[in-house]
Every structure is written in C-alpha cells, then in structure tokens.
Amino acid sequence: MRVSRTKGLFGTEWKKRRNHTGRLMGKILLSILLVFALANGALGEAPKKVTLATLTDFAPYCFAKDKAVFIPVEHIPPGSDSLQLQGYSWDVVRESFHAMGYIVRLLVVPWERGTHYLANGKVDFVFPANKTVEREKKDYVFSEEYVDQIETVIYMQRDENFAWRGLDSLDGLSIGFVRGWAYGKHWEGADRIVKESTDSILQGFEMLGKGRLFGFAGYKRPYDHVLKTTGQTHLYKIVGQFDTIDEFLMGRRADGDNRQLLQAFDEGKRKIRENGILQQIEEKWQQ
C-alpha cells in the first residue's frame, strides 16, 4: 500500500510540475514573440500603402515594358519594381514612396480613366500631372516636389515655312493637342488658337501629315519618342517652345489622408536626392 501510495503521489506531483513548466515556457515564448514584434514594428500595424494610377503611352516618363502582360492591379513593396511599367517618372515616384516604407498599389490605365478613378476615390493620386487653372478650380491638390519637367512645343510639317513668335503667332490656326493632356497655363490662355483634340499622339501626327492640322502642340520627349519609333522623324519639325512645366502627383483636396501621403512623397523625393538614387535615375533615362 505504501509503495503504491508513494507512486501515486509522485505521479500527481510530476503532472502538476509538468503543467506549471509548460505554462511558464508558453509565457516566455509569448514574451519573446512580443518583443520581436515590437522591435520590428509589426504589432497591430497595417502596412503603409498608396494607390496610384498612371498611363503607358508617355515614354520616356511612363510606358510599357517590352512584351509586358497587362496586370489590372499590381502591389509593389519596397525593393520591387512593376512587371509592366517603366520610365523616369515611374522610377521617381516608386523610389520616393519606397524610401518611406510604402507599398505601391499601381493601376495602369488610359489617362482619362485614371482621372475618373481619382474623382471617384478609387486611387489616391494620378501622375504625372501639371497644375492648370481648371484642375485647381476642381480642388485638386499637388505634391510640393515635382515628378518630372516637360518642354511643350509646336510641331509642323518639315517643309512648312513658318515664322515662330510664340503662341500669339498661332492665332486663327488649327492646332492639335491630345485630349485629356494639359499643356500649361500659357496654352490655356491662348484662346484665339483653333484647338483640335486628338485621341493619341500618333493620330495627331497623322492629322498633321494629311493637312487637317496646321500644327500640333506636344510634349517634346514623348512626342519625339513616338516619331522615332514609327520612323517619322524626318517628316516633322519643332518650330518653337512655348513653356517648360513641372509635373506632380495630383490628388483630391477632399481626401483626408492625401496631405500625409503627399508629405511622404515629398520627404521620400528629398531622401532619394540626398542618397544618390535620383541621380542614378536621371543618368539612366538620359542614355
């Protein structure tokens, strides 16, 4: 009886100690995981995200990669790049937000659809966008740091003999522009020009070549890229430049989080300027 009782007491005591030890080890493990989570900023924090829309027919600023497959929405964490989009402006925006720890949620769509998404709150910002009277009247807000800079020029047929004296010299003439694109406040104020909208850069040059337009207002580098890739550089010339404009991130003033996101972009842009990444981007796209 005594031996049996001793074994029974020993077994009960061992079970109690085992349970206590198990609970203690569990608490220690939980504490270690808690410290690890706090050290890495992971406890209860949702990842920082920004949703952007841009276009792909705007080389060398934003354009499709070779043989890219369209992806409706891409999630691009720091250190990663888009599988479908490339360009100077995209590199600047991506690297600026990544420098601040943001995941970029990217929608690549035609420009007018992108601005529609912005108006309906589907995206936080569209880019690259320049400030215009019309956009400021619609209560859009812009980043302080610019995304890129654009030279706006007038193209005409190569054999056209035209004396350029600024936009005033185009009074009464039919000048094309791409629908939905902004050409700056000087262009907006030139109300004596007969402005004809086109659906694309290529369509505008086709209309110019057929004599349906006297001139074509354009963004120099993107338009030159289209002429080069389609073998039409020899057909047209630039007769004059009418503006140099900065382009920005553009969002809605009514969106409460926009100020914080714009500040994040501005700070990120300053960071990549200081650490040399911006210089690398500029050298890459000057080649």
Q: 142 has which bridge partners?
A: 250
Rounded Cα gap, residues 124 and 35, in angstroms: 34
- Beta strand 74-76 with 140-142 is unpaired
Rounded Cα gap, residues 272 and 28, in angstroms: 42
Q: In the structure, what pLDDT confidence band is assigned to residue 44 with cuts at 50, 70 and 90?
A: low
Domain boundary among 245, 260, 277: 245
The verdict on 110 and 86 lying in the same domain is yes
The verdict on 221 and 270 lying in the same domain is no
The verdict on 98 and 176 lying in the same domain is no
Structure tokens at 135: 């956009």
Cα→Cα distances 174→28, 158, 171, Å: 78, 17, 9
Q: Is residue 28 part of a domain?
A: no
Q: What is the CATH number of the domain that holds 270?
A: 3.40.190.10
pTM of the model: 0.74
The verdict on 144 and 154 lying in the same domain is no
Residue identified by tokens 């949620």 is: 105
The verdict on 204 and 193 lying in the same domain is yes
The verdict on 138 and 263 lying in the same domain is yes
The verdict on 203 and 164 lying in the same domain is yes
Does residue 212 surpass a pLDDT of 90? yes
* Dihedral over alpha carbons 44, 47, 51, 54 (to 10 degrees): 180
The pLDDT score that the predictor gives to residue 45 is: 63
The verdict on 178 and 236 lying in the same domain is yes
Q: Based on the structure, what is the number of domains in the chain?
A: 2
Cα atoms in the 13 Å half-sphere on the side-chain side of 184: 18
Q: Is residue 26 part of a domain?
A: no
Q: Is residue 43 part of a domain?
A: no
The verdict on 240 and 262 lying in the same domain is no
The verdict on 141 and 195 lying in the same domain is no
User: Nearest 5°: phi and psi at 84?
Assistant: -125, -20
The verdict on 155 and 217 lying in the same domain is yes
Rounded Cα gap, residues 260 and 138, in angstroms: 20
State the residue range of the domain holding 177.
149-245
Does residue 25 surpass a pLDDT of 50? no
The pLDDT score that the predictor gives to residue 19 is: 53
